Amino acid sequence: MNAPSVLFLIERNAVYRYLGSVVEAALAQGWDVTLLHDYSLLQDGAKAYQFPSVDSAPRFSAGQPQSIVHHGASELGRLLRESSADCVVASRGPIDYLAAEEIDQVSMPWITVQEHFDFASFGINRITTSSLNCVYSPYWLELVAELYAAPPARDELATQVRAISTVTGCTQSDGLHQIDRTVLRERWGIPKDQPVVVYVPSNHGPALYFRVIHGRRFLTRAAHILYAKRWRLLPYAWRNFSDKALVSAVRAFCDHNGAYLLVKNRQKTPVPEYLSAAADRVITDETEYPAGIFAPLSIADLCITAYQSDSVYDAAAAGVPVLSLYPDSMHRWPAIQRLDIQFASSPEDVHYTPKPGGPFNAPGFAYTTSLLDGIKHLPSMRFADFPLNPTALQEYVTRYLGFADGHCGERVITAVEELLTNRSPAERGASGNSNGS
C-alpha cells in the first residue's frame, strides 16, 4: 500500500497539544499530511490567541505538512467529501465538526485522539460516531460507559465503545520529552538547587464554586449563593473561603520551605493583583506543542491546583506530586451543567471526586484537601507531606495515562495504519460511510 494521506483538523491552536506528536509521527513515516485550519474562529477577544492560523503551526522535526484553510462546518464538509485522503484525525468526534446529515456523506475513517477528560464529557455521540477512538487507557472506556448508561445497558455500551477504541497512551505527554530543564531554570533565573512549586490558579468560570471564591466581599459571595438557592452554603460567604486566602496560603508554604512560586496561568484568564504579587513569576503557555504546562512542571517539586484540574495527568507524566483543592467535604457545590448532555452518572460522583482511589486522591502521587483545610494547614506543611512513591506513580500512569513514554503519537499512527490495512478496497473507495465499517 502507498504511504497513506491523512487530514488533521486544527480548529484551535490548543489541539496541537494532543495532535502534535501524531502529526510528527505521520511525517516521520513519510505519510502525506495536511492540516485543515478553521478560520471561522474569532480573531479577537479572550481566546484570540487560539486562532489556528497557518503561521502558528509548530515546527516539526520531520518536516512541515501542507495546510488548507476553511471557514466553518459547511466548508469542512465539502472538503472532506471531495478529498481523496485515506483518513481524518481530530481531537473530537465528527459530531463536533459536522451537521448530523453530513457525517454519513464522509467516506474516510474518522480517528479521534483523546484530549484529557473532554473526550468523555461532551456526549456519547462524539465517541460512537468515530471510526476509531485512540484513548489513554482502559479506564476511560469504563468511565464513558458509567457516565452514559445505567445497568444493565452499561455493559452493552462498554462493549460497543471498546469495539471502536484502542489504547495508545497520552499523546500530550510526548511533548515533555522535548524540554530542556536546565535552559528553563537559567532563563527564569531560578537557582538550580531551589525547590519549585507550580501553582495552577482557579478558573473564572460560571460554576458556583468559582464565582464564590472570587468574590472580594461578603455581600458578593452571599449574592452568588442566594441566587443559586443554595442556602446551606451561606456560612461560606463570611468564612475565609476565597481564592485570595488560598494564594496567601500557597505563598506561605513556599516561604516556609524556601521554594520558588511559579504560577502557570492560562492566557485567557485574568491574573488578580494579589496573585501576581504573591508569585515569583507568572507564565502563560509559550507553546502548544509541547503543551505549555510541561515547561514549569519539568522543573517542579510540587504542583498545587486550586481546583481538581486535569493538570494532574500532566504532572503524572512529569513525575511531580500534586495537591488538588476541592470545594468542601460537607456540602455539594453544583458544577456547571451541560444542558444538551444527559449523564447517567454525574462526573462529580464518578470522576471529579476527592474519594480515595480516584484520579485526585492516589497517595504516593496525588493528594487532595478541601479549600478551607488547605488555607488553614498549607502554611505549616512541608514537601515531605507530599511524598512521591515511584510505584504509586507508575500505577497511576498505567491506570489513567496508559503510556507516557514519548511514543504515544507513534502508537496512534500504528493503530491508524492497521485500521486502513484492514479495510477492503471497496471500503477504501466507497462513499457514504463515516465509520469505515
In a domain, 302, yes or no: yes
The residue count of the chain comes to 437
Tell me the whole-structure pTM to 2 decimals.
0.93
Residue 431 pLDDT level (bands cut at 50, 70, 90): very low
Q: pLDDT band for position 167 (50/70/90)?
A: very high
Least confident of 5-14, 18-27, 44-53, 349-358: 44-53
pLDDT in tens, 340-390: 788 999 888 899 989 999 999 999 999 999 999 999 999 999 999 999 999
Tally of structural domains, the chain: 2
Regarding whether 424 and 320 lie in a shared domain, the answer is no
Judge if 202 and 328 occupy the same domain: yes
Q: Is residue 377 part of a domain?
A: yes
Domain of 272, CATH number, reads 3.40.50.2000
Q: 48 pLDDT band (50/70/90 cuts)?
A: confident
Whether the per-residue pLDDT at 435 is higher than 50: the answer is no
pLDDT beyond 90 at 178: yes
Query: Is 32 strand, coil or helix?
Result: strand
Do 396 and 248 belong to one domain? Answer: yes
| 219 shares a domain with 146 | no
Q: How many CA atoms lie within 13 A of 266 on its CB side?
A: 16
Percent of the chain with pLDDT over 70: 94
Residue 321 inside a domain? The answer is yes
Residue 437 lies in a domain: no
Q: Are residues 192 and 139 in the same domain?
A: no
* Structure confidence at residue 338 as a pLDDT band (50, 70, 90): low
DSSP letters for 206-263: SSHHHHHHT-SSHHHHHHHHHHTT-GGGTHHHHSS-SHHHHHHHHHHHHHHHT-EEEE
Q: DSSP E strands: which ranges in 91-131?
A: 110-113
Same domain, 391 and 288: yes
361, part of any domain: yes
Residue 33 lies in a domain: yes
Residue 295 lies in a domain: yes
Which of the given ranges, 121-135, 339-353, 415-429, has the highest pLDDT on average?
121-135
State whether 237 and 295 are in the same domain: yes
Q: Residue 77 pLDDT more than 90?
A: yes
pLDDT of 1 reads 60
What pLDDT score does 2 carry? 85
**Stronger pLDDT, 200 or 435, i.e. the higher one:** 200
Q: What is the pLDDT of residue 427?
A: 57
The SS3 call for residue 28 is helix
What own/partner pairs with CB < 8 Å and gap ≥ 24 does 181-184 have? Answer: 181/298, 181/299, 184/295, 184/296, 184/298, 184/299
Mean pLDDT over 51-70 rounds to: 96
Q: Is 12 helix (H, G, I), strand (E, B) or coil?
A: coil
Stretch among 143-147, 238-242, 327-331 having the lowest mean pLDDT: 327-331
Angstrom distance (rounded) from CA 426 to CA 432: 12
Which CATH number is 124's domain given?
Answer: 3.40.50
Please return the burial class of 351, using the count of CB atoms within 10 Å of its CB with bins 0-12, 13-18 and 19+.
Answer: buried
Are residues 134 and 210 located together in one domain of the fold? no
Supply the mean pLDDT for the chain: 91
> For position 64, what pLDDT does the model report?
97
Does 16 lie in the same domain as 159?
yes
| 286 Cβ contact list (under 8 Å, min separation 6) | 292, 295
Query: Domain range spanning residue 62?
Result: 5-170+403-429
Position 337 scores a pLDDT of: 54
pLDDT, position 237: 85
Q: Which residues pair with 198 in a beta bridge?
A: 262, 303
Q: 292 and 206: one domain?
A: yes
Read off the pLDDT band of 215 (50, 70, 90).
confident
3-state secondary structure of 9: strand
Summarize pLDDT for 235-282 with one digit per residue, the tens: 888 878 899 999 999 999 999 999 999 999 988 888 999 999 999 999
**Would 93 be classed as within a structural domain?**
yes
Same domain, 225 and 273: yes
142 & 43 share domain: yes
pLDDT > 90 in the chain, percent = 75
Which region among 29-38, 43-52, 139-148 has the lowest average model confidence (pLDDT)?
43-52
| Whether pLDDT at 283 is above 70 | yes
